[in-house]
Chains A and B, each alone.
Chain A
Amino acid sequence: MVLRLEKRPTPSRFWLYATPPVAVLLTMVMGGLLFALMGKNPFEVIRTIFWDPIFGEFAFYLRGQLLVKAGPLILIAIGLALGFRAGIWNIGAEGQYIMGAIIGASVGLAVFPTESRWIFPAMVIAGAFGGWVWAMIPAILKTRFNTNEILVSLMLVYVAETILAKASTGFLKNPEGMGFPGSRNFSSYPAARNDFIYEPLGLHWGGVAALVTAVLAFILLTRHQVGFQIRLAGQAPRAARFHGVNPARLVVLCMGISGALAGLAGLFEVAGPAGQISIDFNTGYGFTAIIVAFLGRLNPLGIVLAGFLMALTYVGGEMASTNLGLPDAAIQVFQGMLLFFLLAVDVLTNYRFRLAVGAH
Chain B
Amino acid sequence: MDIGGINPVILIATLMASAVPILLAALGETVVERAGVLNLGVEGMMVIGALGGFVVAVQTGSPVLGFVGGAVAGAVLSLIFAALTQVFLANQVATGLALTLFGLGVSSLGGQGYNGIKPPSTGQLLPDALADLPVVGPIVFGHDWVVYFSILMTAVLWWVLKSTRVGLIIRAVGESHEAAHALGYKVNRIRLLCIAFGGAMAGMGGAYLSLVRVPQWVDGITAGAGWIALAIVVFASWKPWRVLIGAYLFGGITVLQLNLQVAGSIIPVEYLSMAPYLITILVLVIMSAGRKANGAPAALGQNFHASR
Contacts and interface: CB of A to CB of B under 8 A. Distances in A.
A171 B274 CA distance: 17
A329 B51 CA distance: 14
Q: Classify the interface of chain B: helix, strand, loop or mixed.
A: helix
Given A343-B88, A351-B305, A166 B108 contact: no
Given A151-B234, A337-B102, A343-B98, A294 B91 contact: yes
Given A7-B305, A151-B280, A329 B98 contact: no
Given A148-B284, A290-B97, A343-B98, A329 B292 contact: no
A340 B288 contact: no
B106 interface: yes
B97 to A, nearest CB: 5
Interface string B271-305: 00110011011001100111110101000000001
Given A162-B270, A287-B97, A291-B98, A343 B109 contact: no
Interface stretch (A104-112, A139-147, A185-193, A270-278): A139-147
Contact of B94 (A145, A146, A155, A291): A291
A267 B70 CA distance: 42
B210 interface: no
Given A7-B307, A294-B93, A347-B90, A329 B108 contact: yes
A215 interface: no
Given A159-B277, A340-B98, A147 B307 contact: no
Contact of B102 (A154, A155, A333): A333
B101 A336 contact: yes
A209 to B, nearest CB: 24
B288 A330 contact: no
Nearest to B80: A340
B157 to A, nearest CB: 20
Interface in A127-165: 141, 144-148, 150-152, 154-156, 158-159, 162-163, 165
B181 to A, nearest CB: 11
Nearest to B273: A162
Contacts of A248: none
Given A332-B108, A344-B90, A159 B274 contact: yes
Given A331-B105, A340-B102, A155 B280 contact: yes
B148 to A, nearest CB: 28
A330 B109 contact: yes
Given A336-B101, A351-B305, A146 B288 contact: yes
A333 B284 contact: no
A21 interface: no
Given A7-B307, A146-B291, A166-B270, A339 B94 contact: yes
Given A290-B93, A329-B108, A332-B101, A154 B284 contact: no
Given A147-B288, A148-B294, A343 B235 contact: no
A203 B167 CA distance: 55
Given A145-B288, A336-B101, A337-B102, A151 B90 contact: no
Q: Classify the interface of chain A: helix, strand, loop or mixed.
A: helix
A166 B231 CA distance: 24
A336 B91 CA distance: 14
A329 B224 CA distance: 17
A151 B88 contact: no
A154 B285 contact: no
B27 interface: no
Nearest to A34: B109
A155 B281 contact: yes
A295 interface: yes
A165 B308 CA distance: 55
A121 interface: no
Contacts of A195: none
A329 B109 CA distance: 6
B294 A347 contact: no
A146 B289 contact: yes
Interface string A27-66: 0000000000000000000000000000000000000000
Given A5-B305, A7-B307, A162-B270, A151 B105 contact: no
B235 A151 contact: yes
Interface in B66-107: 80, 84, 87-91, 93-95, 97-99, 101-107
A123 to B, nearest CB: 25
22 contacts: A145-B288, A145-B289, A147-B285, A148-B284, A151-B234, A155-B231, A155-B281, A158-B274, A158-B277, A291-B101, A294-B93, A327-B109, A327-B112, A329-B105, A329-B219, A337-B102, A340-B95, A340-B98, A343-B90, A344-B88, A346-B88, A347-B90
Interface of A: 5, 7, 84, 141, 144-148, 150-152, 154-156, 158-159, 162-163, 165-166, 287, 290-291, 293-295, 327-337, 339-340, 343-347, 350-351, 360
Interface of B: 80, 84, 87-91, 93-95, 97-99, 101-109, 112, 219, 224, 227, 230-231, 234-235, 270, 273-274, 277-278, 280-281, 284-285, 288-292, 294, 296, 305, 307-308
- List of 3 A-B pairs having minimum Cβ-Cβ separation, nearest first: A336-B102, A332-B105, A329-B108
